[in-house]
């Protein structure tokens, strides 16, 4: 299996060359080097006060980048869909105030200019990993892209989706493992840490892990964050909400700022043993 995948990707732009991971820099943050940046923030940008409170607390705990969705891919069309452009503006304001680069999801090509204007990294969600016309558009921009693995995507399909962006000329791609569908129902997804270790061997691209969507369960986010780092992840993306019980989306998998802070202390100790750092 591994050999087949290697053969197919070996001649491609995503393929590993000399065993080194490419470094992707965003302001004071670097993915793919000694740093293991932790991105934190709410699932969705709900209002500016909540976002500011979250940003302040996660930054104090050691997060170096702020996340928050303005365009939300919800399973039900009746669920909160995000605040759109005003959400983007809010994210950019709070990020600037806190001196944290920001990341947000782009769902539709027609919002590309707006997301380019307000976000430091463009996130492509699991549901759009197969949107090849969108991936081609991202190949033409000069901004880092976090490409999440599709809900049921094979590693091969995921790497080929990254190849679409690289082939267009944009070399700044960070892969994000966020769990895949399996037979299991206790968890929302099955976080595939095989994929993290394997993709690090197959490709030079940095790989980050989202244990929030990868588990869907707050109490599993900490253990799987630690496991992801041990497996070689180059970063983490973690959902944090000041009052998860009131969250408009994904409250059940969001850490409280206090829980996040405790996790960061554990991560700091672990990454130090590995000769890496979170800040
Ligand atoms: C998210 O990060 O908020 C999100 C919707 O993730 P995914 O695309 O992995 O489901
Ligand atoms: Mn979410």
pLDDT of residue 7: 64
Establish whether residue 37 lines the binding site of ligand 1, counting it when its CB lies within 6 angstroms of any ligand atom.
Answer: no
pLDDT in tens, 35-70: 999 999 999 999 999 999 999 999 999 999 999 999
79 lines ligand 1 (CB under 6 A): no
Instruction: Report pLDDT for 277.
Output: 98
Structural domains in the chain plus CATH codes: 33-273 (3.20.20.70)
- The reported pLDDT for the residue numbered 17 is 87
- What is the structure's pLDDT at 2? 52
Which parts of the chain register pLDDT below 70? 1-8
Q: Is the CB of 73 under 6 A from ligand 1?
A: yes
Atom 9, ligand 1: residue with shortest CA distance: 126
pLDDT, averaged across the chain = 96
Phi, psi of 179 (to 5 degrees): 90, 150
- How much is the pTM? 0.97
Q: Is the CB of 149 under 6 A from ligand 1?
A: no
- Position 10 scores a pLDDT of 77
- Which is the closest atom of ligand 1 to the Cα of 250? 3
Does ligand 1 lie within 6 Å of residue 125's CB atom?
yes
Ligand lying nearest the CA atom of residue 104: 1
pLDDT, tens digit, 9 for 90 and up, residues 187-218: 999 999 999 999 999 999 999 999 999 999 99
């Amino acid at each position: 299996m591994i050999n087949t995948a290697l053969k197919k990707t070996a001649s491609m732009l995503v393929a590993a060359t000399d065993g080194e991971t490419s470094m992707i820099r965003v302001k004071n943050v670097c993915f793919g080097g000694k740093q293991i940046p932790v991105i934190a923030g709410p699932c969705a940008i709900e209002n500016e006060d909540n976002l500011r409170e979250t940003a302040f607390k996660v930054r104090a705990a050691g997060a170096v980048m702020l996340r928050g969705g303005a365009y939300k891919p919800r399973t039900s069309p009746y669920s909160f869909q995000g605040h759109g452009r005003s959400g983007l503006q809010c994210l950019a304001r709070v990020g600037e105030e806190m001196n944290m680069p920001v990341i947000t999801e782009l769902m539709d090509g027609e919002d590309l200019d707006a997301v380019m204007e307000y976000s430091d990294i463009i996130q492509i969600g699991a549901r759009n990993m197969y949107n090849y016309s969108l991936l081609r558009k991202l190949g033409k921009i000069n901004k880092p892209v976090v490409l999440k693995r599709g809900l049921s995507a094979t590693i091969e399909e995921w790497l080929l989706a990254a190849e679409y962006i690289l082939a267009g000329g944009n070399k700044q791609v960070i892969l994000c493992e966020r769990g895949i569908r399996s037979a299991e129902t206790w968890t929302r997804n099955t976080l595939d840490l095989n994929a993290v270790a394997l993709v690090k061997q197959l490709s030079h691209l940095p790989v980050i892990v989202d244990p929030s969507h990868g588990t869907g369960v707050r109490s599993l986010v900490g253990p799987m964050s630690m496991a992801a780092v041990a497996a070689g992840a180059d970063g983490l993306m973690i959902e944090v909400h000041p009052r998860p019980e009131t969250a408009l989306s994904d409250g059940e998998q969001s850490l409280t700022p206090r829980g996040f802070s405790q996790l960061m202390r554990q991560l700091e100790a672990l990454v130090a043993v590995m000769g890496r750092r979170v800040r």
